[in-house]
Structure 1
Amino acid sequence: MRFGLIAALAVSLFAATPALADPPIWLVRDADTEMVLFGSIHALPPGVEWRTARLDTAMETADLVAFEILTPGSEAEEIQMFMPFMRYFFADRPLDEVVTAETFARAAAAAAAQDIDVRSLQMMRPWAAALMLDMGADEALGRSEELGVDTILEQSLAEGRRKEALDTPELLLASIKALADMDDVEGEAMLVEVLDALGRDELDVEMDTAWAAGDIAPIEEEMRLMQEEAPRLYQALLVDRNHAWMPALTRMMDAEGRVVVVAGAAHMVGEDGLPALLRAAGYTVEGP
């Protein structure tokens, strides 16, 4: 199973600098509403060019902008948002009693290289340790959620602009539970795959280059592989969330004039993607 893909989905879908910015946009229409669907990248390194005049115009003229989640306004709000999920990251037994001695030694060395206290590592389920180490490695190479599409676009909204979150606490909890339901054998396999990928000195930029140029074929292929190799996670992280967002999207199509929806590019592709679901619901959809 390609667990590196799952780890990447938790934070982003890759990074690079294109020659010409033209990331994927879909336009959804009915008689009185235009909805722009923008397939985003949640975390990026410095120097990536992705903003276009078309996107900026859509953002400036939108009556409502929707994101997967909204950035908490304070540290207290952030704690309140994520605290219910934290218990799923932690194990009943220390990590060195759950995984093999070799895997733990490698994980402890990777944690030390990222200045992570081994006591924190010991508390985590194998899949959670894998995500933590994978995210830390990417951050060390310059990838940051602060430079991600969602963060930049939300911060660019003037005070008082209408914005909305698509994810509910229940949907977020279901996503975490899907990962938490992974047994320790699966979790260790994920951890080993992440450890095997550590030590690289540059980010993988292939998919991000394609995304920034408007080519969604590599993302479609990754989603196909995820559906084949991790169907339970594919269902919970993508399919279930997309279907749960549809009532909000159809309400927006009924009630608004101009809407922009910013969601991860993985949510936009294939027969389970938002453009396909909206087309099946009877709307006109134009795009890649």
Structure 2
Amino acid sequence: MSIHTSFAALLGLRGLRASRLLAIWSLLSLSLAGHTAQAADQPAAAASAPAASEPARVCPPAPVPPDVAQMQQGMRDAVDRGFLWKVSRNGRSSWLYGTLHAAKIDWVYPGPAVQQALRDSDVVALEIDMLDPGVAKRLETAVKMPAKPAALPPELAARLATQARLACVDDALAGLRPEMQAVTLSVLVARDEGIDPSWGVDGFLAGYARGLQKPVISLETPELQMALLVSNKPADTARSVSEVLTELESGETRRTLLRLARAWAASEFSELETYAQWCNCVKTAEQKRFYAQLLDGRNGPMARRIADAHQRGQRVFAAVGALHMVGPKSLPALLAAQGFQVERVR
């Protein structure tokens, strides 16, 4: 197709205007990362001035949505990344796609195999559809600080404020629950490498699917996801925040995110399969329990929703975090157990 055709035609968006797609992309600010963009390039507030022992911070530029020409170029240059499976039953095929929630901007554009799978699908299924206004509102409510929050211990609050300052977000996360502040900081640690949650692959797919006029469904609810991460018990909140901050302060979070991102970009599934061995995050009994709950515990219900939609005659393109594709209770394994023929698309 000629590069002189309209942008909508280039993307196969059936009349969706480029400005509409750009607007959809800008709506990614509804994600947790969106709370940080406004503060990313602003000076620290006086209250969060660095202590003498703290390292100097270097703030990456705030994420800026690409213009039409950049998006055209991104689609032309797109290569397949991540992990794609074809799952077939009853004479129909659906797809599983393992995504990355924080990525480089060039990585969000789907490559040829992923584009074809999207076009051949009837419905796109995401963990949660952030472009659904109702879902976004519920998530915003779920992550907000309670009306009468229990205060973090002073030392822990100071550590959290330090990491917010070093991440160049200062007070931008103050309205979130403490656990969500810590989790958000953990996905911002590689922005200097261009790996930013603003460019999460799932978010772009939500907009791209709408451009293809595909219905988008959520496999989970905001309330379910938040229930895994937050607690109304002050002791549990303090323990969770402390664990996340310890990994941030040691540099372990950054090392793990970079290694995972590079494996995803190169489609190195063997690296993904051994994640629990090298992430240094599944050591204690509590960590093992949480890891199983965060992944295996969610895979069963998601697999059933995908299988049910397929059974109703819909060809499903299900895009979820890549770690849901690993292990004996992964989505590919669970669908195979339900009688699907599962084939990795390399």
TM range (shorter): 0.7 to 0.9
CA distance in structure 2 between the aligned counterparts of 1:220 and 1:90, rounded to whole angstroms:
42
CA distance in structure 1 between the aligned counterparts of 2:135 and 2:126, rounded to whole angstroms:
17
Query: Which gives a bigger RCO, structure 1 or 2 (Cα 8 Å, sep 6+)?
Result: 1
CA distance in structure 2 between the aligned counterparts of 1:77 and 1:155, rounded to whole angstroms:
15
Residues 273 and 182 of structure 1, relative CA distance in 2, 3 Å threshold? farther
Contact 2:128–2:135 under 8 Å retained in 1: no
Is 1:80 matched with 2:138?
yes
Contact 2:146–2:177 under 8 Å retained in 1: no
Contact 1:90–1:124 under 8 Å retained in 2: no
Q: How does 1:200-211 map to 2 (within 5 A)?
A: 205-211=258-264
Which portions of structure 1, spanning 4 or more consecutive aligned residues, are displaced by more than 6 angstroms? Answer: 178-181
Alpha-carbon distance, 1:34 to partner: 0.4
Q: How does 1:247-266 map to 2 (within 5 A)?
A: 247-266=304-323
Contact 1:63–1:258 under 8 Å retained in 2: yes
Alpha-carbon distance, 1:83 to partner: 0.4
Match of 2:62 in 1: none
Q: Which amino acid aligns with 2:101?
A: H
Alpha-carbon distance, 1:212 to partner: 2.4
Match of 2:295 in 1: 238
Q: How does 1:45-124 map to 2 (within 5 A)?
A: 45-48=104-107, 51-74=110-133, 78-87=136-145, 91-96=149-154, 99=156, 105-113=158-166, 114-117=168-171, 120=174
Match of 2:338 in 1: 281
Alpha-carbon distance, 1:210 to partner: 2.3
CA distance in structure 2 between the aligned counterparts of 1:283 and 1:183, rounded to whole angstroms:
41
Unmatched runs of 5 consecutive residues or more in structure 2: 1-31, 34-77
Is 1:152 matched with 2:204?
yes
Alpha-carbon distance, 1:220 to partner: 1.9
Deviates more, 1:138-147 or 1:178-187: 178-187
Q: Which amino acid aligns with 2:138?
A: Q
Alpha-carbon distance, 1:226 to partner: 4.9
Rg larger in structure: 2
Among the aligned pairs, what percent are the same residue? 24
Of 247, 260, 276, which aligns to 1:193?
Answer: 247
Match of 1:4 in 2: none
CA distance in structure 2 between the aligned counterparts of 1:234 and 1:24, rounded to whole angstroms:
21
Q: Would you say how many aligned residue pairs link Structure 1 and Structure 2?
A: 263
Alpha-carbon distance, 1:167 to partner: 0.6
Contact 1:69–1:167 under 8 Å retained in 2: yes
CA distance in structure 1 between the aligned counterparts of 2:139 and 2:253, rounded to whole angstroms:
33
Match of 2:24 in 1: none
Please, what TM-score do these two structures have when normalized by structure 1?
Answer: 0.75
* Deviation digits for residues 44-90 of structure 1 (CA, Å, limit 9, x no counterpart): 1233376321111111121111111112345x863333303434798
Of 241, 256, 269, which aligns to 2:326?
Answer: 269
Match of 2:89 in 1: 30
Contact 2:180–2:230 under 8 Å retained in 1: no
CA RMSD of aligned residues (A): 3.6
Contact 2:102–2:187 under 8 Å retained in 1: no
